[in-house]
């Protein structure tokens, strides 16, 4: 199996912060694989996915490598980056209405990138746009519409069609269903799954919803304060978390089939960027934390007996099943 | 807030992206205001003292900027003239800002027919040239500073009321305003305590820009002999008085007040625009 | 039998031919929690806005403590009385607070309006303590606070009036999961301590299960199903309720089947 995206020891530092925003992220996506990157706001999940397209915040300094199809994005020339964004990797944003110019027709939006960056002729580009619209379940008539005439769900399909225009090897979806209704979410997720099968692309699905991540992906990465807390096959991770943060996140999510009453909330809040971190970034909120946790940051190491899983916790053996942290 | 202040086409071209220009303009505004405040103490002579023997003299140690055709010291008249030249626009801006905010807030908050009536009537004023209105009022009430100030204040009111109206409309749609309504606060309380403070910085930036325009308009009226009485030192009046001197080849007494007017207007424009930019950036 | 505090009868509201709210009736008993569930365009938010008086109904009635509150009151006394009956917490804590007002000032304003002549400072400290904030947050401006802290301020502001009913319009939707759980727990504690009634508007069935006793499911302006929350979620009768339940992602979830069911409905 070929690896489409390979991020290794990726560091990202912003000016005026006490700690790196991303502190050694390791993440891979294979061809035809769906990988979910889960975290709360400020965890660095969106920064990670944007880095794959070379979209770095102003003044950022980086370390490590972010390889797409074997080429490091961090050292690419602007010209090469543009080609990467046109034809190798594509991104689907959270709010389709904010990501499409409301004054242009859908047809212009879809064909623009191919015509300007890949030099495709207008005719060929339009043919491709029609093909992609049909792939996402929309008719060619949409080409002449304006964004304001389409519903949120339809617009997100247009976004997906746009992402497929350059026949990318990798699709980055940054909270693509958060702005949509729950029933529409299922439709968009089903579509993404079908297209991944059909076109053989890798999919990195960035979300805050652990339930959604477990439901749709092959593997999950859980991120906290700029580090990977835990990674592994979706079902196993959901069934038996090996990091206290994952366990706590699962327990604090209200579920329709759980009994009424208080939730096991995680007290406190994630560390800010102005605070320097020594030791484990979750230690301050963790029921299992010991002196060791406050002194030494745990490494992301394989879980005993489960080679596909890795976790960054000193006390992973003390985490129970499904009930999370037995503290 | 994406609303920008209204500027006349000519001056709108001055871009204020470079810091030195902004600081220079701010410094110049401070200098002019200081000169106006301290004029009675720092002016070398009485601005109306006549030395006929010295008429049209060039710069010298006694008269740093020379003497005009009537034998009056140009520097003294320039400094004292700053008072009238700034006081007039101040009146225009004070009145047009207060009335404009009141009209704009009322129109935006109440909406409906009241909004239509207020918006249409301010548009009517917009369509009527301010200078013409001023000339009309002055010709009815005779010379003096008050008549042109009131005329221009009315002419400038729509600039402020239109801006205020659009800002208040945007502010009114925000959930925090609805939250106060649900809490039982009256519309007047919400406007006074929350909405007006929110729109004030942008409105004041517009008024700063207006100050410059009012200055140039009032100077124009003085030049036409329609503003201040003949003997009062005033920049516009000085240009008018200096015309004959220019014809005799002594341009200094007319060119200097001209330069003072132009530089002050540009400085107020730049300062106002920069202020508006800063507010916009802070709110983002 | 508990006393009824809020009663909504046959509410209608149209916007240019679209029936946003179509014959909606609800009852909320004292100290109970009622959820309104639906997707965008279901009319749940419009219903809430009519109940708090931010929107007008075309027809139908809103009764609080058996008094008709359908029309927005004209005078000051009416306005204040209504505010003391129903309060609201908005979805976005970043927009529902005046950015220029420190937290203590926000609360003081409300107390001055409703309870002039009482010890405001003590009550402010009490309210902040009730929502888990301290003197440091009291002096802060909204932008210096996190999303969760701001929502706590919004809740304290609503509680300051001592209302009989609190309408929560997607009040936890904009928060991170771990913070959301804190706020949901806080709301449960407040209800247990004060006996206030909740009208909880949400799209999230997990949240509904967690904080409501009864639920109505709305679709395209109409109520399609209602009943005790546990009952409705365990044995949904209406296909739309079932679709909503199936749409909640869990491992082994089949989005294709849901998409097909949605098209069939």
Mean pLDDT of C104-113: 94
Q: Which of A182, A187, A265 sits opposite C181 (nearest CB)?
A: A265
pLDDT for B1 equals: 40
Q: Which of C80, C97, C99 sits opposite B184 (nearest CB)?
A: C80
Rg (CA), chain C: 19
Residue B18 has pLDDT above 90, yes or no: no
Domain annotation for chain A: domains and CATH numbers: 3-217 (3.40.50.300), 223-323 (no CATH)
Residues C227-263: pLDDT tens digits?
Answer: 999 999 999 999 999 999 999 888 888 888 888 888 8
Paired with A205 in beta bridges are A36, A173
Extract the tokens encoding A156.
Answer: 């997100």
Residues C162-193: pLDDT tens digits?
Answer: 999 999 999 998 888 888 999 999 999 999 99
How many CB atoms lie under 10 A from the CB of residue A309?
A: 23
pLDDT for A324 equals: 42
Which positions 166-225 of C are in contact with B (Cβ < 8 Å)?
none
How sure is the predictor about B14, in pLDDT bands with cuts at 50, 70 and 90? low
Mean pLDDT of chain B: 85
pLDDT for A325 equals: 41
Residue with tokens 């060929």: A124
How many CB atoms lie under 10 A from the CB of residue C79?
A: 19
pLDDT for C130 equals: 92
pLDDT for B2 equals: 43
- Stronger pLDDT, B55 or C98, i.e. the higher one: C98
Give the CA-trace dihedral at B266, B269, B272, B278, to 10 degrees.
Answer: -90
Q: Is A248 in the C-facing interface, judged by CB distances under 8 Å?
A: yes
Distance of CA B101 to the CA centre of its chain: 17
Give the CA-trace dihedral at C92, C93, C99, C103, to 10 degrees.
Answer: 160
Nearest one of A148, A203, A281, A149 to A29, comparing CA atoms? A203
Domain annotation for chain C: domains and CATH numbers: 4-97+163-234 (3.40.50.300), 236-265 (no CATH)
State the DSSP code for A55: -
Inter-chain residue contact C247 with A262, CB threshold 8 Å: no
State the DSSP code for A175: S
Q: State the smallest CA–CA distance between residue A301 and chain C in angstroms.
A: 25
Asked if A184 contacts C244 with a C-beta cutoff of 8 angstroms, the reply is no
Angle at B184 between CA B179 and CA B185, to 5 degrees: 80
Angle at A80 between CA A78 and CA A84, to 5 degrees: 110
Cα A297 to Cα A22, A62, A236, C201, distances in angstroms: 14, 20, 24, 42
Residue B16 has pLDDT above 60, yes or no: no
What is the rounded distance in angstroms from the CA atom of residue A20 to the CA atom of residue C37? 41
Tell me the residue ranges of DSSP E strands in chain B.
none
- Nearest chain C Cα to B175, which residue? C96
What is the rounded distance in angstroms from the CA atom of residue B216 to the CA atom of residue B224? 12
Residues of A in contact with C259 (CB under 8 A): 186-187, 190-191
Q: Is B247 in the C-facing interface, judged by CB distances under 8 Å?
A: no
| CB contact set of C186 (below 8 Å; sequence gap of 6+) | C131, C132, C152, C155
pLDDT for C110 equals: 94
| C and B make contact (3+ CB pairs below 8 Å) | yes
Mean pLDDT of C150-161: 95
What is the rounded distance in angstroms from the CA atom of residue C217 to the CA atom of residue C35? 8
Q: State the smallest CA–CA distance between residue A81 and chain C in angstroms.
A: 33
Q: Phi and psi of A223, rounded to 5°?
A: -110, 140
Q: Which of C210, C229, C262 sits opposite A183 (nearest CB)?
A: C262
Extract the tokens encoding A40.
Answer: 């709360």
Distance of CA A120 to the CA centre of its chain: 30
What is the rounded distance in angstroms from the CA atom of residue A193 to the CA atom of residue A182? 17
Residues B104-158: pLDDT tens digits?
Answer: 999 999 988 999 999 898 888 888 888 888 888 888 887 778 888 988 999 999 9
Query: How do strand C67-68 and strand C222-228 relate by DSSP bridges?
Result: unpaired
Q: Is A16 exposed, middle or buried (0-12, 13-18, 19+ CB in 10 A)?
A: exposed
How many CB atoms lie under 10 A from the CB of residue C39?
A: 18
Residues of C in contact with B184 (CB under 8 A): 79-80, 82-84, 113-114, 161
What is the rounded distance in angstroms from the CA atom of residue B158 to the CA atom of residue B130? 11
Extract the tokens encoding A29.
Answer: 């996506």
Residue C44 has pLDDT above 90, yes or no: yes
Order of all β-strands in the sheet with C222-228: C86-89, C165-169, C197-202, C33-37, C214-219, C222-228
Question: Number of Cβ pairs closer than 8 Å across B and C?
Answer: 55
pLDDT for A323 equals: 43
| CB contact set of B126 (below 8 Å; sequence gap of 6+) | B158, B162
Report the length, in residues, of chain A: 327
Distance of CA B164 to the CA centre of its chain: 18
| CB contact set of C239 (below 8 Å; sequence gap of 6+) | C261, C265
| CB contact set of A249 (below 8 Å; sequence gap of 6+) | A38, A210, A222, A266, C177, C178
How many CB atoms lie under 10 A from the CB of residue B201?
A: 18
Angle at B102 between CA B201 and CA B161, to 5 degrees: 65
For an interface test with C, the pick among B171, B174, B176, B279 (most C C-beta atoms closer than 10 Å) comes out as B176
Residues of A in contact with C33 (CB under 8 A): none
Question: Alpha-carbon torsion C78, C79, C80, C83, what sign?
Answer: positive
Paired with A7 in beta bridges are A27, A66
Residues B71-102: pLDDT tens digits?
Answer: 888 888 889 989 888 999 999 999 999 999 99
Q: State the smallest CA–CA distance between residue B30 and chain C in angstroms.
A: 29
Residues C51-65: pLDDT tens digits?
Answer: 999 999 999 999 998
- Nearest chain B Cα to C158, which residue? B183
Cα C133 to Cα B48, B179, C111, C120, C156, distances in angstroms: 68, 20, 18, 16, 10
Extract the tokens encoding C197.
Answer: 């009634």
**pLDDT under 70: residue ranges of chain A:** 1, 320-327
Per cent of chain B over pLDDT 70 is 93
Nearest one of A193, A166, A161, A188 to A175, comparing CA atoms? A188
Asked if C99 contacts B195 with a C-beta cutoff of 8 angstroms, the reply is no
Helix (H) or strand (E) holding C67, with range, is strand C67-68
Residue-wise burial string across B73-83, b where 16 or more C-beta atoms lie within 10 A, e elsewhere: bbbbbbbbbbb
* ipTM entry: 0.88
Q: State the smallest CA–CA distance between residue C125 and chain B in angstroms.
A: 19
3-state secondary structure of A69: coil
Residue with tokens 């220009």: B21
| A and B make contact (3+ CB pairs below 8 Å) | no
């Amino acid at each position: 199996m070929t690896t489409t995206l390979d991020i290794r020891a990726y560091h990202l530092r912003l000016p005026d912060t006490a700690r790196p925003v991303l502190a050694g992220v390791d993440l891979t996506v294979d061809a035809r694989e769906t990988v979910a990157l889960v975290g709360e706001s400020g965890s660095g999940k969106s920064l990670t996915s944007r880095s794959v397209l070379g979209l770095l915040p102003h003044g950022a300094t980086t370390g490590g490598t972010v390889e797409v199809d074997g080429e490091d994005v961090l050292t690419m020339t602007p010209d090469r980056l543009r080609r990467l964004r046109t034809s190798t990797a594509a991104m689907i944003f959270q709010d389709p209405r904010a990501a499409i110019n409301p004054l242009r027709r859908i047809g212009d939006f879809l064909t623009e990138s191919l015509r300007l960056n890949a030099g495709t002729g207008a005719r060929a580009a339009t043919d491709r746009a029609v093909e992609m619209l049909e792939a996402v379940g929309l008719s060619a008539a949409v080409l002449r519409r304006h964004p304001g005439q389409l519903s949120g769900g339809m617009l997100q399909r247009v976004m997906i069609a746009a992402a497929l225009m350059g026949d990318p090897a990798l699709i980055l979806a940054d909270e693509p269903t958060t702005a949509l209704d729950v029933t529409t979410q299922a439709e968009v997720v089903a579509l993404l799954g079908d297209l991944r099968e059909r076109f053989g692309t890798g999919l990195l699905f960035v979300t805050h919803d652990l339930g959604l991540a477990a439901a749709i992906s092959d593997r999950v990465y859980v991120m906290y304060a700029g580090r990977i807390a835990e990674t592994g096959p979706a079902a196993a991770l959901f069934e038996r978390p090996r990091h206290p943060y994952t366990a706590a996140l699962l327990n604090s999510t209200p579920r329709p089939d759980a009994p009424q009453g208080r939730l096991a909330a995680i007290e406190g809040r994630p560390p800010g960027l102005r605070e320097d971190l020594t030791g484990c970034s979750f230690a301050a909120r963790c029921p299992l934390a010991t002196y060791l946790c406050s002194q030494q940051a745990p490494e992301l190491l394989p879980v005993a007996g489960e080679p596909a899983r890795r976790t960054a916790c000193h006390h992973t053996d003390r985490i129970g099943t499904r009930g999370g942290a037995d503290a | 807030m994406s609303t920008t202040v209204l500027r006349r086409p000519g001056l709108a071209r001055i871009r204020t992206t470079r810091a030195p220009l902004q600081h220079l303009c701010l410094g110049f505004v401070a200098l002019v205001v200081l000169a106006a405040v301290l004029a009675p103490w720092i002016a070398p002579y009485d601005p109306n003292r006549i030395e006929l023997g010295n008429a049209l003299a060039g710069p010298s140690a006694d008269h740093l900027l020379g003497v005009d055709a009537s034998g009056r010291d140009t520097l003294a008249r320039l400094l004292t003239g700053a008072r009238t030249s700034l006081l007039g626009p101040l009146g225009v801006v004070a009145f047009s800002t207060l009335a404009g905010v009141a009209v704009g807030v009322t129109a935006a908050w109440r909406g409906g027919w009241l909004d239509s009536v207020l918006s249409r009537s301010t548009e009517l004023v917009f369509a009527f040239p301010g200078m013409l209105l001023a000339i009309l009022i002055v010709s009815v009430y005779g010379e003096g500073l008050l008549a042109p100030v009131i005329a221009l204040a009315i002419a400038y009111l729509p600039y402020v009321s239109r801006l205020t109206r659009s800002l208040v409309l945007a502010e009114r749609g925000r959930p925090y305003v609805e939250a106060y309504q649900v809490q039982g606060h009256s519309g007047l309380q919400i406007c006074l305590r929350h909405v007006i403070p929110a729109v004030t910085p942008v409105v004041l930036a517009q008024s700063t820009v207006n100050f410059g325009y009012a200055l140039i308009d009032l100077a124009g009226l003085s030049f036409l002999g329609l503003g201040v009485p003949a003997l009062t030192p005033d920049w516009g009046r000085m240009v008018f008085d200096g015309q004959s001197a220019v014809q005799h080849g002594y341009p200094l007494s007319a060119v200097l007040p001209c330069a003072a007017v132009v530089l002050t207007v540009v400085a107020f424009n730049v300062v106002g625009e920069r202020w508006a930019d800063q507010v916009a950036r802070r709110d983002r | 039998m508990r006393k009824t505090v809020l009663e909504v009868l046959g509410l209608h509201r149209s916007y240019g031919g679209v029936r946003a709210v179509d014959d909606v009736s609800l009852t909320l008993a004292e100290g109970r929690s009622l959820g309104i569930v639906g997707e965008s365009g279901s009319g749940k938010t419009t219903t809430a806005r009519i109940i708090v008086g931010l929107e007008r109904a075309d027809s139908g009635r809103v009764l609080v403590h058996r008094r008709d509150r359908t029309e927005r009151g004209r005078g000051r006394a009416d306005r204040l009385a209504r505010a003391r009956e129903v309060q609201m917490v908005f979805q976005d804590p970043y927009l529902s607070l005046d950015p220029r007002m420190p937290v203590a000032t926000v609360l003081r304003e409300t107390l001055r309006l409703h309870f002039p002549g009482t010890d405001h400072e003590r009550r402010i400290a009490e309210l902040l303590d009730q929502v888990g904030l301290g003197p440091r947050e009291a002096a802060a401006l909204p932008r210096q606070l996190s999303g969760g802290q701001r929502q706590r301020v919004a809740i304290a502001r609503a509680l300051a009036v001592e209302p009989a009913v609190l309408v929560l319009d997607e009040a936890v939707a904009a928060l991170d999961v771990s913070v959301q759980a804190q706020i949901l727990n806080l709301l449960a504690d407040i209800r247990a301590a004060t006996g206030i009634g909740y009208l909880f508007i949400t799209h999230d069935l997990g949240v509904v299960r967690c904080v409501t006793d009864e639920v109505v499911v709305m679709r395209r302006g109409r109520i399609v199903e209602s009943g005790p929350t546990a009952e409705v979620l365990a044995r949904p009768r209406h296909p739309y309720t079932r679709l909503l339940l199936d749409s909640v992602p869990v491992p082994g979830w089949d989005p294709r089947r849901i998409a097909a069911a949605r098209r069939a409905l």
